[in-house]
Homo-oligomer: A and B are copies of this chain.
Amino acid sequence: MKLDMASVKFNSDGLMPAIAQDEISGEVLMLAWMNAESLAETIKTGQVTYWSRSRQELWRKGETSGNVQILKDMRIDCDRDCLLMLVKQTGPACHTNRQSCFYTAIRDGDEIELMQPE
């Protein structure tokens, strides 16, 4: 079935959450946001491009750091308002130089740091 871009639901800011998961390890690396332009660019180039909410511009992941994400597969959820991307991650995904942005566990009311910067 042909993808109907009109059926993809962006929020009132024109954005949708996009989860990046390592295609090999299955580790969830990060969640960031996409607008229609960044989604189209990600699909066209095969390289993950988000929308930076803080800078209000296209965010070609890894453009300055070199830590690019190559899109291996893309999924959309049942509500059509969230994306899951299986990616090949070069270097650490997190801007803190950790493999994943989810390096802090919340356990019994405490925070536990699970990963060190690479």
Chain A residues within CB distance 8 Å of chain B: 1-3, 17, 19, 21, 25-28, 30-31, 43, 73-79, 82, 84, 94-96, 98, 101-107, 109-111, 114
Given contact pairs A31-B77, A31-B82, A79-B101, a sample of 16 additional A-B residue pairs in the complex whose CB atoms are under 8 Å apart: A1-B111, A2-B110, A3-B106, A3-B109, A17-B17, A17-B31, A19-B19, A30-B77, A73-B105, A74-B105, A74-B106, A75-B105, A76-B104, A77-B101, A78-B96, A78-B98
Residue of B nearest to A102 (CB): B75
Q: How many copies does the complex hold?
A: 2
Residue of B nearest to A112 (CB): B1
On whether the beta carbons of B1 and A106 are closer than 8 Å, the reply is no
